[in-house]
C-alpha cells in the first residue's frame, strides 16, 4: 500500500455529475423570483451548503428576504432537485469511477464520502452505492460546511484514521481549502486541478490509482 490508508471522496462533481441538476433547480427558483443567475455564479456554489448557496444567489436580488422566505425558496429548490435526482440510476456511475473505486477497495484502502449535501444517501442509493462506502460524512452530520474541514475530519474519524493517512478527492475550491485546513492531502479534478493548494492535480478520476496504489 502507498502513503494513504483511506480516501475521502466529495460526491457532487467527483463521484457523479449532479452539478447540472443543482444548476437547473437553482436557475428555476432564481427565474421565478426574477433574480439573475448564471453558470459562473453556479460555480461559486460548489461544495457550499444549501442555505449559503441561496445567500450567494440572493446577492443579485434587489430586495432582502426574511428567514421564512429563504426557507421556502430552499425547500422549493430541493424539491426540484430531488425530482431531477429521481431519474438517476446505476447507469449514471461511469465505468471509470466504478472500476477505480473497486481497484482502491481491492487494494485494501478504506473509502469514505465527505459531502456537504443532505441528499448524499439518496444519491448513493440512486447510483447503487448505498452500502459501498466504509463511512459517509455529509450535510446531515456537520454544523459548518466547506471550506471548514469538519466534513472531512468527521469522515476520517468514522474511518478511524488520522488526516495524514487520508487523501481527499475534490472538484471545488471550497473543498480543496477544507482539505488543506484539516491537514489532508488532496487530489483535484476539473477546476480543482489548477489550485495551488491541491496536492495532486488530476486529469481524470482513474489517476487515483497511480496516486494511491
Ligand atoms: C454540495 C454541492 O455537494 O452540496 C453544493 O457541491 C450544494 O452545490 C451542497 O449546495 C448542498 O447540497 P444539498 O443536496 O444538501 O442541497
Ligand atoms: Mg463537488
Above 80 in pLDDT, residue 1? no
50 Cβ closer than 6 Å to some ligand 1 atom: yes
Confidence of residue 71 (pLDDT cuts 50, 70, 90): very high
Above 70 in pLDDT, residue 88? yes
Q: Where in the chain is the domain with CATH 1.10.150.240?
A: 19-85
44 Cβ closer than 6 Å to some ligand 1 atom: no
Give the pLDDT confidence score for residue 16 in this predicted structure: 97
48 Cβ closer than 6 Å to some ligand 1 atom: yes
CATH number of this structure's domain 19-85: 1.10.150.240
Ligand in nearest proximity to the CA of 120: 1
Q: Where in the chain is the domain with CATH 3.40.50.1000?
A: 6-16+91-212
Cα–Cα distance measured from residue 47 to residue 44, given in angstroms and rounded to the nearest whole number: 8
Q: How far out from the chain centre does Cα 208 lie?
A: 17
| Average pLDDT over every residue of 120-147 | 97
| Average pLDDT over every residue of 150-174 | 97
What is the chain's mean pLDDT, rounded?
97
Confidence of residue 2 (pLDDT cuts 50, 70, 90): confident
pLDDT tens digits for range 7-47: 999 999 999 999 999 999 999 999 999 999 999 999 999 99
Handedness of CA 33, 42, 96, 211 (dihedral sign): negative
Instruction: Report the topology of domain 6-16+91-212.
Output: Rossmann fold (3.40.50)
Index of the ligand 1 atom closest to the CA of residue 119: 14
Above 70 in pLDDT, residue 62? yes
pLDDT tens digits for range 49-59: 999 999 999 99
Q: Is 12 labeled as catalytic in the residue annotation?
A: yes
| Average pLDDT over every residue of 85-106 | 97
State the helix-helix crossing angle for 67-85 and 50-58, rounded to 10 degrees.
Answer: 110
Handedness of CA 154, 165, 110, 198 (dihedral sign): positive
Q: What percent of the chain has pLDDT over 70?
A: 100
Q: Closest Cα to residue 170, out of 133, 132, 116?
A: 116
Amino acid at each position: 500500500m502507498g502513503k494513504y490508508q483511506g480516501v475521502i471522496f466529495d460526491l457532487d462533481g467527483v463521484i457523479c455529475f449532479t452539478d447540472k441538476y443543482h444548476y437547473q433547480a437553482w436557475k428555476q427558483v432564481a427565474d421565478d423570483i426574477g433574480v439573475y443567475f448564471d453558470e459562473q455564479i453556479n460555480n461559486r456554489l460548489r461544495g457550499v451548503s444549501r442555505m449559503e448557496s441561496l445567500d450567494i444567489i440572493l446577492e443579485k436580488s434587489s430586495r432582502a428576504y426574511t428567514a421564512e422566505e429563504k426557507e421556502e425558496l430552499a425547500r422549493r429548490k430541493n424539491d426540484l432537485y430531488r425530482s431531477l435526482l429521481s431519474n438517476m440510476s446505476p447507469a449514471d456511475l461511469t465505468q471509470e469511477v466504478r472500476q477505480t473505486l473497486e481497484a482502491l477497495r481491492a487494494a485494501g484502502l478504506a473509502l469514505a464520502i465527505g459531502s456537504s449535501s443532505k441528499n448524499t444517501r439518496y444519491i448513493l442509493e440512486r447510483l447503487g452505492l448505498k452500502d459501498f462506502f466504509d463511512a459517509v460524512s455529509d450535510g446531515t452530520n456537520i454544523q459548518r460546511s466547506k471550506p471548514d474541514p469538519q466534513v472531512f475530519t468527521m469522515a476520517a474519524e468514522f474511518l478511524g484514521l488520522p488526516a495524514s493517512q487520508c487523501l481527499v478527492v475534490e472538484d471545488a475550491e471550497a473543498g480543496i481549502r477544507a482539505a488543506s485546513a484539516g491537514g489532508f492531502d488532496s487530489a483535484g479534478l476539473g477546476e480543482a486541478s489548477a489550485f495551488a493548494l491541491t496536492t495532486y492535480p488530476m486529469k481524470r478520476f482513474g489517476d487515483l490509482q497511480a496516486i494511491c496504489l
